[in-house]
Amino acid sequence: MEAQRESWGSKTGFILAAAGSAIGLGNIWKFPYIAGENGGASFVIVYLICIAVIGFPVLIAEILIGRSTQRNPVGAFFKLSGSKFWAGVGGMGIVGGFLILSFYAIIAGWSIGYIVEAIDGNFFNFVEETASAQHFLNLVGNVYWILGYFIFFMMLTTVIVFAGVKKGIERGSKIMMPILFFLLIILMIRGITLNGAEKGLEFLWNPDWSKINANTILIALGHAFFTLSLGMGAMLTYGSYMSKKDNIISSAFQIVFLDTIIALIAGIAIFTAVFATGLNPQAGPGLIFHTLPSVFIKMPGGYFFSILFFILLTLAALTSSISLLEVVVSYFVDERKWKRHHAAIVLAFFITLLGVPSALSYNVLSDFTIAGKNFFDLVDFIASNILLPLGGLLISVFVAWKWGFKKVLPNLREGAENLFEKYPWVISFWKIFLKYFSPILIFLVFLNSIGILDKIIELFF
């Protein structure tokens, strides 16, 4: 007899865990800087549209595949299609989890390292932005610093996944998510009450449409995927622990809502502070680690708020990293019959090993490049720009075209009978978006990511 499969304790537990997966470095580290680089408000509007018309429908599709099959990504696709090809699409997700976690945990490690810097009051030694940027480079240039915090963060992730779905992931999310909301709201209030905060708010609310072009739309769409943890079966796996009594559509809506609101609040907290201290909003990936430390030291209570900020960032990263490890673990537990404890430790170990060259690409391996990219950027590129969009594309095609709405809709209806009766148009929209919009738009993102789109456009126009 098969062992009883794990499940969530409650619908709220699932929503918090899934929102925890979605809310991560993507919201607090990445979203503010790409919004800053791409025109502020106008980018935010494009991003919101992408979330609504592509992110939300694909999220429903992923959760549905998981809940209908109660399997990991490989098992789920195989169960529904009986085909090796589609099982391979699930396999791409497992590989994606492996790759993404190997570099995600490195950045999360920086965040832990920065909690320590903040507590030490070290930011006060670097008044100029250039000095704090240099300090960052010195830290990541130190092999022991970068590997130490990376390994430590991987251990935290492992402990939670080791403890299981209900006792580890759900309980961890139920503790960490409220703390995260609370800290972020304090930071937002601090930001808004700074002298000169209006300029930051203006930047977020006043659109600059001249900055919007095909490329920014694709960046927004790509980010909509990343921030909702779509395209590699993370939401599928979390959905597989969900009860058939729960409403997938309303759950997905709440996840999207939480993820979006957190990204916006993070944007407000960061840009009010950056503008009030007269620093550059377009610092790119360095915004958090280069610019923010010099923002904190210039504002009242900065010592305290800098500590809170990096605790917040670490918690957000942790509730995401556990979802990445869980995808890989669920495959080995379901399909290879490994014990969860064994799987969590062994797989985390191999993911850490894979992360070592990425960590070293900030120091000893910095000259080592493949196709013009260092190891870290290469892994990031393969995962975020190839595997995720391709996965998202295939997931929409699978649900809309292969599995087929005739079989899909009765499954989706379970737990959502009310919604089906009262708002049938929601379902109609979902079908249209998933069948036509998502595949086409994601395909464009994909071509753009691998750098083919420019050439095609040149060819025709």
Binding site for ligand TRP (CB under 6 A): 21-22, 24-27, 100, 226-227, 229, 231-232, 234, 320, 323-324, 388
Closest distance to ligand TRP from the beta carbon of 339 (Å) = 24
Q: How far is the CB of 191 from ligand TRP (least distance, A)?
A: 21
Beta-bridged to residue 40, according to DSSP, are 207
Q: Measured from the CB of residue 413, what is the shortest distance to ligand TRP in angstroms?
A: 27
- Chain position carrying tokens 């470095």: 25
Query: Which residue has 């737990």 as its token pair?
Result: 415
The residue nearest ligand TRP at its CB is 26
23 is written with which tokens? 């809310």
Q: Please, which residue, 324 or 419, has the CB nearer to ligand TRP? A: 324
Between CA 171 and CA 164 the distance in angstroms is 9
Residue 420's nearest CA partner among 412, 5, 169, 60 is 412
Closer residue to ligand TRP, CB minimum distance, 126 or 310: 310
Q: Which is nearer to ligand TRP, 224 or 419 (CB)?
A: 224
φ, ψ for residue 177, nearest 5 deg? -65, -45
Nearer to ligand TRP, 13 or 231 (CB): 231
Q: Compute the least distance from the CB of residue 192 to ligand TRP, in Å.
A: 24
* Pairwise CA distance, residues 317 & 29, whole Å: 10
DSSP state of 123: G
Secondary element (H or E) of residue 120: helix 84-120
Closest to ligand TRP by CB, 23 or 87 = 23
Least separation in angstroms between CB 237 and ligand TRP: 10
C-alpha 131/C-alpha 264 separation (Å) is 29
- Closest CB 337 distance from ligand TRP, rounded Å: 25
Identity at 221, one-letter amino acid code = L
Rounded distance, CA 210 to CA 212, Å?
6
The rounded distance, in Å, linking the Cα atoms of 181 and 172 is: 14
Q: How far is the CB of 383 from ligand TRP (least distance, A)?
A: 8
Extended strands (E) in 326-413: 369-370, 373-374
For ligand TRP, which is the closer residue by CB, 260 or 323? 323
For CA atoms 393, 373, 44, 25, give the dihedral sign.
positive
Shortest distance in whole angstroms from residue 231 CB to ligand TRP: 6
If the CB atoms of residues 41 and 58 are measured against ligand TRP, the closer one turns out to be: 58
Cα–Cα distance for residue pair 326/164, rounded to 1 Å: 9
User: What are phi and psi for residue 8, nearest 5 degrees?
Assistant: -75, 155
| One-letter amino acid of 134 | Q
Q: Tokens 């025709």: give the residue.
A: 460
Nearer to ligand TRP, 204 or 234 (CB): 234
Spatial contact of 295 and 40, defined as CB atoms under 8 Å apart: no
Per this entry, what is the length of the chain? 461
End-to-end CA distance of the chain: 62
Q: How far is the CB of 293 from ligand TRP (least distance, A)?
A: 21
Task: Please identify which residue in the block is written with the tokens 């493949």.
Answer: 370
Residue whose CB is less far from ligand TRP, 187 or 276: 187
On the 0-12 / 13-18 / 19+ scale of CB atoms within 10 A, 458 is: exposed
Answer whether 98's CB lies under 8 Å from 355's CB: no
Q: Rank residues 100 and 307 by Cβ distance to ligand TRP and give the closer one.
A: 100
The two structure tokens encoding residue 220: 């927004």
The distance of closest approach from Cβ of residue 26 to ligand TRP in the complex, given in angstroms and rounded to an integer, is 2
Q: Closest approach of Cβ 259 to ligand TRP, in Å? A: 8
Q: Considering beta carbons, is residue 102 or 320 the nearer one to ligand TRP?
A: 320
Taking the complex as a whole, the smallest distance from the CB of residue 203 to ligand TRP amounts, in Å, to 22
Contact 146, 140 (CB under 8 A): yes
